[in-house]
Amino acid sequence: MNAEHAYFFRHALLRDAAYQLQLPGDRARLHGLAFAVIEDLAGGPPPVPKPLHATKASPFEPHPTDPAAPELAEHARLAGGTIDTGQDASVSRRFVSAQQLYLRRAAEHAMHHFRPELSSRLWEQHATLVTGVEKGQALRNAAEDARLSGQPQRAELLFRETLAVLGENGSPRARGLALAGLAVVFQQTGRADLAERAYKEALEILFGDSDRNIEGTVLGNLATLYLDNGRFEEAGSALERALAIHRESGERNAIGITLGNVAGLHQQSGRREQAERAYDEALAIHREAGDRRGEGRLLGNMGTLCKELGQVERAERLFEQALAIHAETGSARSRGIVLGNLAGFYQDTGRNGPAERVHEQALAIHREVGNRRSEGVSLLSLASLYQDTGRLELAERTFDESLAIHREVGNRRWEGITLGIRAGLYHETGRLAEAERSLDQSLAIHRKLGNRRFEGSDLCTHAALMAALGRIDEAQRSWKAGTSRLAEFGDTAEIDRKTDAMRAACAKSGIRFPG
């Protein structure tokens, strides 16, 4: 008789009842037998890895047991026995060790296959079986993977638990890494002050560590915080130090990540040729290293640069490639950011229907993963779309909501941009005094942050407003200064848009266009 026909229970309740009829000791031995059979069929146990807290962690090496690792861990747990099963203590210890090993293998296998939500849960289970620094490291891995899967609140709780465990068990290096991870969560959820303090505390702890790449990575992350807040000089200094550390050690993937951040600095500063070169070099390194997440982030940023350069077809292709990679790797937060950029691209190319739909998709992801900074940026773009399509009351409410988020998260750069764009709505609805106040505020922020490209754009908006108010000398000065700023960046598309608006304002006021 075929065993499957004899013992296959077609209903889960029947199967459970048959299982519960077995005595606890018999069940434990059957699980032990199942464990041994599965492990043997898969080629035997994998090698014992280095401890998680080792200075140089073992790279993940696939093993034939990996697909069955969660099942093996569960059989080991159930085979370990309890007092009421009469299981021998040495047998129990052996199965507890096997459970630890296979939970770790399962977590690493899940992460290797871009399933961060699953790997985070598995690391958290693994942490219950270990103690001391090893427990802290398992919790930190769970926190990192929770953050990658778009669960910032859970990530923060896990990082705080990590720090509590490590506070009791020493290991300054592990504590510094956990603080740096918590700083990333603070940054991604818009708490810039907390993020900066945590990064700097982490750097103090990690300074002089035998693996200087860790210091370089934290410096690179701190630089992105400075970039977010328009502190370009500090960002450049931090990136220069980080890149020197990584080049000295020859850590290629870290060099690629830092070069991507250098490219972002060049892009935001209007140095587009340097940005393009840095992106190309970083992309080649990520592909060489097989870093799909890094490749996806770079492709999305390169799409934005191509849009600025007027390379429309290439920009769209890059956005689509980035989205495909983020879907593959489970990078929800990055996918939301690229969707927001793609929506802006559709908007700029006159496809308002698709733009609105994709903006809404991006906003849903930003809210789900707690990405307040990107939520504020997406709301700004959506407000501009509402204005362009004549829904002025909705546009104004959305501008105000965007501005409130920028102020909440300390995003001064985008606060200035929003104030300048909202001034155009005030102008359109005849509230010229409010438009002037909003522009004065935006220009003050741009000048303080050195954001010359948006200063140029807002000076052109100011010129059109001065023309409407009949203040011709001021209009001419602002127009000349604004177009000069935009010309520095080669932004001919923005100059063309502002020229159309200025001609209309001059015609309406009956004055000569100052071009």
- Report whether pLDDT(425) > 70: yes
Tokens of 34: 């199942």
Helices 116-127 and 132-148, axial angle in degrees (round to 10): 160
User: Using 50, 70 and 90 to split pLDDT, how confident is the model at 351?
Assistant: very high
pLDDT of residue 431: 93
Which of 51 and 279 is assigned the larger pLDDT?
279
Across the chain, mean pLDDT equals 85
- The fold for domain 411-515 equals 1.25.40
CA 329 to chain CA centroid, nearest Å: 12
pLDDT of residue 355: 95
The string of DSSP letters for 311-367 reads -HHHHHHHHHHHHHHHHHHT-HHHHHHHHHHHHHHHHHTT-HHHHHHHHHHHHHHHH
CA 372 to chain CA centroid, nearest Å: 12
Continuous segment of H or E residues that includes residue 148: helix 132-148
pLDDT of residue 370: 78
Tokens of 77: 């747990």
pLDDT of residue 20: 60
Per-residue pLDDT of 68-124, as tens digits, reads 888 888 888 888 754 444 556 666 778 888 888 889 999 999 888 878 889 999 999
pLDDT of residue 333: 85
| Angle 174-175-181 from CA coordinates, rounded to 5° | 90
Q: What is the mean pLDDT of residues 310-322?
A: 92
pLDDT of residue 127: 93
Per-residue pLDDT of 185-232, as tens digits, reads 888 777 888 999 999 999 999 887 777 888 899 999 999 888 877 788
Per-residue pLDDT of 440-471, as tens digits, reads 999 998 888 777 788 889 999 998 898 888 89
CA–CA dist 31, 283 (Å, integer): 48
pLDDT of residue 97: 85
- Report whether pLDDT(296) > 70: yes
pLDDT of residue 229: 72
Residue with tokens 């290629």: 252
pLDDT of residue 340: 94
Q: What is the mean pLDDT of residues 25-53?
A: 80
Flag the least confident range among 59-63, 154-158, 199-203, 252-256: 59-63
**Three-state DSSP class for 411?**
coil
Identify the top-confidence range among 219-233, 264-278, 284-298. Answer: 284-298
Question: What type of residue is 449?
Answer: L
CA–CA dist 515, 500 (Å, integer): 11
- Report whether pLDDT(475) > 50: yes
Q: What is the mean pLDDT of residues 238-267?
A: 90
Question: What type of residue is 182?
Answer: L
Which of 7 and 226 is assigned the larger pLDDT?
226
| Angle 496-338-287 from CA coordinates, rounded to 5° | 110
User: Using 50, 70 and 90 to split pLDDT, how confident is the model at 435?
Assistant: very high
Which of 409 and 446 is assigned the larger pLDDT?
446
pLDDT of residue 14: 59
Tokens of 304: 């934005």
pLDDT of residue 449: 73
Q: What share of the chain is helix, strand, coil (3-state, %, to 5)?
A: 80, 0, 20
Residue with tokens 């427990």: 135
Q: What is the mean pLDDT of residues 271-298?
A: 90
Tokens of 336: 């939301």
User: Using 50, 70 and 90 to split pLDDT, how confident is the model at 504?
Assistant: confident
- The fold for domain 208-290 equals 1.25.40
Q: How many C-alpha atoms does 133 have within 13 Å on its Cβ side?
A: 14
User: Using 50, 70 and 90 to split pLDDT, how confident is the model at 244?
Assistant: very high
- Per-domain boundaries in the chain: 208-290, 291-398, 411-515
Nearest to 410 by CA among 261, 248, 193, 236: 193
Exposed e or buried b for every residue in 341-359, given b needs 16+ CB within 10 A? bbbbbbbbeeeeeebbebb
User: Using 50, 70 and 90 to split pLDDT, how confident is the model at 1?
Assistant: very low
pLDDT of residue 310: 82
CB neighbour list of residue 57: distance below 8 Å, 6 or more residues apart: 50
CATH of domain 291-398: 1.25.40.10
User: Using 50, 70 and 90 to split pLDDT, how confident is the model at 282?
Assistant: very high
User: Using 50, 70 and 90 to split pLDDT, how confident is the model at 335?
Assistant: very high
| Angle 487-488-493 from CA coordinates, rounded to 5° | 40
CB neighbour list of residue 500: distance below 8 Å, 6 or more residues apart: none
**Three-state DSSP class for 310?**
coil
Flag the least confident range among 164-173, 180-189, 258-267, 471-480: 164-173
CA–CA dist 265, 228 (Å, integer): 10
Tokens of 171: 């290991």
